[in-house]
Amino acid sequence: MTRRDKAYPADLVSLREVGLRDGLQLVKSWPSTDEKRAWLMREHAAGVRHFEVGSFLPASRMPQFADVAAVIDAVSELDGARSAALAMNERGAADALGTAVDEIVCVVSATEEHSQANMRRSRADAIELVRAIVRLRDEAGHKAVVNAGISMAFGCSIAGRVAPDEVMRLAEACLEAGADVVGVADTVGYAGPRQVARLARSMRDLVGDGRFVVHLHDTRGMGIANAAAALDAGCLILDGSLGGLGGCPFAPGATGNVVFEDLVFLCETKGFATAIDLAALAAARAIPERAMPGEHFCGGIARAGLPAADWRA
């Protein structure tokens, strides 16, 4: 059984809750470690199993992730739960490998312009970093899955249009470099559902099944429609954040990730069982809402509640 098989079933949709990572990327204040633990426990009790919980960066740069190792430990204590965290360089990967993290996430920009501006390295160097992290992981005999995501895969706030062929070339290069899982991210929320469907079909053809990640932002209101398109195209791993936490660095005031609760509702209405208790999940929002009173949490299910009629497909 490969690392990927252990992490993601071949026949079920896996939903990754990235609120504790992407959701905290831009906030001015953030939950304490205890509040993060409570957030995880409540979501885990509701049935969530995949959590992206931070980034291995110097605490001086990203103090909201200074406790990432403790948060990974908290996930380890939850039955069946899996933690993921970003590593942006070899040092971050080495730190990650010193923890019980279940998934190390690397990012490769779809465009050379964004790669240089955002990560100060070429895309080729970013792929070499994926290779180096896989090698470090193997040398350490660590269990972690290496997940490589192509950011700006549906359009770039610097370079503009992104050719799907270019994204696929990079995804293939990540696999060749040893990544267990690859994904595509609509980092700035440019995509519409047709574009998502097309790239997701290409990804499915590349990967051989639906186990690739589609990471969507709801910046322009297309998040759930794009998730529906990804599901229809066979994608089995989708990201969202509780309450849609997580803005867009290039669109101040814009909404963030796909709302996780609404994503669960979408999946269930489409006949993809998630094993998540939606009412319990919506109730879990109380924790980040209390911990971050200045942040805006959105989402239809939390606002309106579940339908009075049977709504599961």
Q: Which residue has the tokens 């959701």?
A: 23
Residue 270 in contact with a second copy, rule: CB under 8 A: yes
Q: What contacts 294, CB < 8 A, 6 or more positions away?
A: 28, 29
Q: Which stretch binds a second copy (CB under 8 A): 8-16, 19-27, 95-103, 267-275?
A: 267-275
What is the rounded distance in angstroms from the CA atom of residue 150 to the CA atom of residue 168? 9
Residues in the interface with a second copy (CB under 8 A) total 51
24 binds a second copy (CB under 8 A): no
CB of 283 to a second copy, least distance (A): 16
Taking Cα atoms as reference points, which of 267, 193, 240 lies closest to residue 16?
A: 240
CB 249, min distance to a second copy, A: 12
- Which residue is catalytic, options 174, 248, 267, 298? 248
Q: What is the DSSP string of 6-38?
A: HHS-SSS-EEEE-TTTGGGSS-SS---HHHHHH
Is residue 218 at the binding interface for a second copy, with CB under 8 A as the rule? yes
Kindly report the backbone phi and psi dihedral angles of residue 54, in degrees, each rounded to the nearest multiple of 5, phi listed first: 165, -165
9 forms part of the interface with a second copy (CB under 8 A): no
Pick 290 or 303: Cβ nearer a second copy: 303
Regarding 220 and contact with a second copy (CB under 8 A), the answer is yes
Mark 171-210 with x for binding to a second copy (rule: CB under 8 A) and - for no binding: -----------------xxxxxxxx---------------
CB 87 within 8 A of CB 137: no
Smallest distance from a second copy to CB 275, Å: 18
Q: Are 105 and 147 in contact (CB under 8 A)?
A: yes
Site string for a second copy, 147-176 (x = CB under 8 A): --------xxxxxxxx--------------
At its nearest, how many Å lie between a second copy and the CB of residue 271?
Answer: 7
86's CB contacts (< 8 A; 6+ apart) are 21, 52, 54, 55, 56, 57, 92, 104, 105, 106, 107
Residues within window 292-311 making contact with a second copy, judged by CB under 8 A: 299-301, 303-305, 307-311
The helix/strand/coil state of 241 is: strand
Among 106, 133, 228, 230, the residue binding a second copy under the rule CB under 8 A is 228
For a second copy, the closer of residues 54 and 223 by Cβ is 223
248 is catalytic: yes
In the bound state with a second copy, the residue whose beta carbon lies nearer, of 80 and 221, is: 221
Q: Is 87 helix (H, G, I), strand (E, B) or coil?
A: strand
Residues in region 243-262 near a second copy by CB under 8 A = 248, 251, 253-255, 259, 262
> Please, how many CA atoms are within 13 Å of residue 239, restricted to the half-sphere of its CB?
30
CB 271 within 8 A of CB 281: no
Strands 103-109 and 82-87: parallel
Three-state DSSP class for 306? coil
Taking contact as CB under 8 A, which single stretch among the options 38-46, 52-60, 62-70, 213-221 is the one that binds a second copy? 213-221
> Which residues are known to be catalytic?
248
Q: Which residues bind a second copy (CB under 8 A)?
A: 155-162, 188-195, 218-222, 224-225, 227-229, 248, 251, 253-255, 259, 262, 265-266, 268-271, 299-301, 303-305, 307-311, 313
